[in-house]
Amino acid sequence: MKNSREVAFDVLSKVLYDGAYSNLALDNAVKENNLNGLDSAFCTALVYGVLERLITLDYIIRKMSSVPFRKIEKSTLIILRMGVYQILFMDKVPDSAAVNESVNLAKKKKLFKSSGFINGMLRSLIRTEGKYPVPDESDKVRFLSVKYSCPEYLVKLWLDSYGEDITVSVLDSLWGRPPLTMHVNTLLTDSDTLIENLSGEGVTAEKTRFKDIISVKNTGAVDALKAYDLGEFFIQDAASALCAQISGAKPGDIVCDVCSAPGGKSFAMSINMENKGEVYSFDLHPHKIKLINAGADRLGISIIKASVRDAAEDKEFGISADVVLCDVPCSGFGILRRKPEIRYNKDMDYGNLPELQLRILENSAKLVKAGGTLVYSTCTLNPEENDRIIEKFLINHPEFSKKKIDLPDGVVRKIPEDDCMLTLFPEPQGSDGFFIATMERSSL
């Protein structure tokens, strides 16, 4: 079996060069190599740490390397990134161990010519005593990009859209693992009872400012918990739960969730509806429909009707719904703390997303009955995918009007925006970055 650093190397190679998802690649690798608790925790911290700090690490390597960055072999570069991260950002790892283990890893990967280069560069870094190179603060975009390991285009987008204070707050939220939150299944239990039951299994749980959302720590494997088997909760971020709450779905309603996988908002709306009415959950991929059905069965939800449907296609469906929710595909800039590799995806064509998002919204609007509610949401922080989509839609569809969002207790607006829209930032809510807009059909 491989040790924790070898596993981390393999995972980083798959994520950075093969396009694998960090969470899936890491989970599979940890299980395949039977890493125990401490080794698993170290491997996880190293993988996510390197991904979270990639731009910072590469900047330091560029400045300190005797070899031009573009000429550093890929495997050597991964080992350098791991070594630099351990020296600068893992206080419990002795510098000597970081260097020696990096050199040993290079030899195991048969990078014999690179081992001396790795040894020399890491020892040079140690001699700086933490005073590693950084850009001049006068170049604000460049400085923030390197400090927070966020691409310059994204830093500039946020500075231009939200201002420096919010941008720095969002960037600060990227460090460390995000909170794990559970949505309480009030069809079967309540928050106090679930917290008590979880405590009996060694889980630390507490209420949050969001309705029926609890924050948990020390869960171990979530699907091994007794409360999971009993269907007393499902994993959901607070922002996603708030979106379902704002939809206003109530008992007896007909609801459509047009981009529903993995099903969290459909589950949340079904629970808010007290399992009375109908929830049509659509997704493009058949295997995701199976996941939605399995989740509904575990939670004891019987009103979900999941089926394959391409929300981007203009097809009649024969439904007149009280609530239609469009949680559209997006750039994901609001969930970088959960999927740090998103920010480095150079192949992603974000420019085409607004066209797709508007098309899904316009097709889905046809399912809304007179007096019904149309909800648009994304997990991104980008006005072109958020505010601008709603503005274009309302210009083209006078049969819809803005519907005011009544903010629940504890939820605050951080930017000036129309009251039919809500942009959520990681602070102060502690949620993912998210956007929600609500509209009402006044006529057919």
CATH number at 432 reads 3.40.50.150
Cα 368 to Cα 229: distance, rounded to the nearest angstrom: 36
Q: Tens of pLDDT along 150-207?
A: 999 999 999 999 999 999 999 999 887 788 999 999 999 999 999 999 999 999 999 9
- Whether 258 is covered by a domain: the verdict is yes
**Shared-domain flag, residues 78 and 163:** no
**Shared-domain flag, residues 77 and 149:** no
**Shared-domain flag, residues 297 and 407:** yes
pLDDT over 90 percentage in the chain: 84
The domain boundary residue, chosen from 71, 98, 127: 127
The pLDDT value given to residue 148: 94
- Whether 393 is covered by a domain: the verdict is yes
Rounded to an integer, the average pLDDT of 224-242 is 97
Q: Give residues with Cβ within 8 angstroms of 38, minimum separation 6.
A: none
The pLDDT value given to residue 444: 60
- Whether 226 is covered by a domain: the verdict is no
- Whether 229 is covered by a domain: the verdict is no
What domain count does the chain have?
A: 3
The pLDDT value given to residue 176: 73
The pLDDT value given to residue 346: 65
Q: Which tokens is 124 given? A: 């040079």
Cα 374 to Cα 434: distance, rounded to the nearest angstrom: 17
The pLDDT value given to residue 25: 94
**Shared-domain flag, residues 77 and 26:** yes
Q: Cβ distance 329 to 357 under 8 Å?
A: yes
**Shared-domain flag, residues 392 and 251:** yes
| End-to-end alpha carbon distance in the chain | 64
The pLDDT value given to residue 344: 83
Q: Tens of pLDDT along 33-52?
A: 988 889 999 999 999 999 99
Residue 18: which CATH number? 1.10.940.10
Is the pLDDT at 304 greater than 90, yes or no? yes
Is the pLDDT at 347 greater than 70, yes or no? no
The pLDDT value given to residue 318: 82
The domain boundary residue, chosen from 127, 157, 192: 127
Side-chain half-sphere exposure of 291, counting CA atoms within 13 A: 14
- Lowest mean pLDDT segment, chosen from 202-206, 313-317, 425-429: 313-317
**Shared-domain flag, residues 165 and 308:** no
Banded pLDDT at 423 (limits 50, 70, 90)? very high
Is the pLDDT at 378 greater than 90, yes or no? yes
The pLDDT value given to residue 77: 97
**Shared-domain flag, residues 154 and 290:** no
Q: Give residues with Cβ within 8 angstroms of 342, minimum separation 6.
A: 331, 332, 333, 335, 336, 348
- Residue from 256, 326, 330, 379 carrying the catalytic annotation: 379
Cα 437 to Cα 194: distance, rounded to the nearest angstrom: 31
64 closest CA partner among 144, 120, 135, 148: 120
Cα 360 to Cα 216: distance, rounded to the nearest angstrom: 35
The pLDDT value given to residue 348: 64
pTM, 2 dp: 0.91
**Shared-domain flag, residues 253 and 294:** yes
- Whether 97 is covered by a domain: the verdict is yes
* Burial 284-310, CB ≥16 within 10 A → b, else e: eeeebbeebbebbebbebebbebeebe
Banded pLDDT at 357 (limits 50, 70, 90)? very high
Is the pLDDT at 325 greater than 80, yes or no? yes
Is the pLDDT at 63 greater than 90, yes or no? yes
- Whether 186 is covered by a domain: the verdict is no
Cα 319–Cα 323–Cα 326 angle in degrees, nearest 5: 95
Q: Cβ distance 279 to 268 under 8 Å?
A: no
pLDDT over 70 percentage in the chain: 99
- Whether 327 is covered by a domain: the verdict is yes
**Shared-domain flag, residues 123 and 155:** no
Rounded to an integer, the average pLDDT of 206-230 is 93
Range of the domain at 160: 140-172
Is residue 330 part of the annotated active site? The answer reads no
Rounded to an integer, the average pLDDT of 436-442 is 97
**Shared-domain flag, residues 18 and 156:** no
**Shared-domain flag, residues 326 and 264:** yes
Phi-psi region of 211 (alpha: psi -120 to 50; beta: other; left: phi over 0): beta
Detail the DSSP E strand segments found in 240-294. Answer: 254-257, 278-283
Is the pLDDT at 279 greater than 90, yes or no? yes
Alpha helices in 347-432 (DSSP H): 353-365, 387-396, 426-429
The pLDDT value given to residue 109: 92
**Shared-domain flag, residues 251 and 154:** no
The domain boundary residue, chosen from 74, 104, 127: 127
Cα 345 to Cα 66: distance, rounded to the nearest angstrom: 27
Cα 74 to Cα 70: distance, rounded to the nearest angstrom: 9
**Mean pLDDT, all residues of the chain:** 94
Rounded to an integer, the average pLDDT of 273-291 is 96
The pLDDT value given to residue 206: 96
- Whether 183 is covered by a domain: the verdict is no
